[in-house]
Amino acid sequence: MNIEEMVREQAREAKASSRRLAVTPSPVKDAALRAMADALEENASAILAANAEDMEAAWKKGMPRAMLDRLRLDEKRILGMADGIRQTAMLPDPIGEGEMETIRPNGLEIRRVKVPIGVIGIIYEARPNVTADAAALCLKSGNAALLRGGSEALKSNRAISAILSFAAEAAGVPKGALQFIDSPSRDAVGVMMNCTGLLDVIIPRGGAGLIKRVVAESVVPVIETGAGICHTFVDEGADLDMALRIALNAKTSRPAVCNAMETLLVHERVAKDFLPKMAAAMRKKDVELRGDVATRAVVSDMAEATEEDWATEYDDLILSVKVVKNLDEAIAHINQYNTGHSETIVTNDLNHAHRFQREVDAAAVYVNASTRFTDGFEFGFGAEIGISTQKLHARGPMGLNELTSTKYLIFGEGQIRE
Interface residue with its own copies, options 157, 366, 384, 398 (CB under 8 A):
366
Interface residue with its own copies, options 395, 398, 399, 400 (CB under 8 A):
395
Q: Which stretch binds its own copies (CB under 8 A): 48-56, 69-77, 185-193, 377-385?
A: 377-385
Binding mask 178-217 for its own copies (x = CB under 8 A): ------------------x---xx-------------xx-
- The residue among 44 and 327 lying less far from its own copies, judged by its C-beta, is 327
- The residue among 151 and 368 lying less far from its own copies, judged by its C-beta, is 368
The gap from C-alpha 286 to its chain's centroid, in whole angstroms, comes to 27
- The residue among 40 and 117 lying less far from its own copies, judged by its C-beta, is 117
The gap from C-alpha 186 to its chain's centroid, in whole angstroms, comes to 22
408 binds its own copies per the rule CB under 8 A: yes
Interface residue with its own copies, options 396, 398, 399, 400 (CB under 8 A):
396
Question: Whole-angstrom Cα distance, residue 402 to residue 116?
Answer: 10
350 binds its own copies per the rule CB under 8 A: no
Interface residue with its own copies, options 28, 31, 317, 369 (CB under 8 A):
369
Provide φ and ψ at 416, rounded to 5°. Answer: -125, 160
CB 260 within 8 A of CB 254: yes
CB 284 within 8 A of CB 277: no
318 binds its own copies per the rule CB under 8 A: no
CA angle 352, 356, 360 (to 5 degrees): 165
Q: Are strands 230-234 and 342-346 parallel, antiparallel or unpaired?
A: parallel
Interface residue with its own copies, options 374, 384, 386, 399 (CB under 8 A):
374
Q: Which residues of 378-398 are buried (b: 16+ CB within 10 A; e: fewer)?
A: eeebebbbbbbbeeeebbbbb
- The residue among 1 and 416 lying less far from its own copies, judged by its C-beta, is 416
Q: Which stretch binds its own copies (CB under 8 A): 59-67, 261-269, 303-311, 385-393?
A: 385-393
Residue 368: closest CA among 199, 249, 195: 249
- The residue among 306 and 406 lying less far from its own copies, judged by its C-beta, is 406
Interface residue with its own copies, options 287, 365, 383, 400 (CB under 8 A):
365
Question: Whole-angstrom Cα distance, residue 341 to residue 186?
Answer: 29
Residue 373: closest CA among 327, 340, 337, 341: 341
- The residue among 45 and 406 lying less far from its own copies, judged by its C-beta, is 406
H or E element, residue 78: helix 75-90
What is the torsion angle, in degrees rounded to the nearest 10, for the CA atoms of residue 233, residue 234, residue 239 and residue 240? 120
Residues of the shown chain interacting with its own copies in the complex, contacts defined by CB under 8 A: 19, 22-23, 102, 104, 108, 110, 112, 117-118, 196, 200-201, 215-216, 219, 221-223, 239, 242, 245-246, 248-250, 253, 335, 353, 357-359, 361-370, 372-374, 378-380, 390-393, 395-396, 405-418
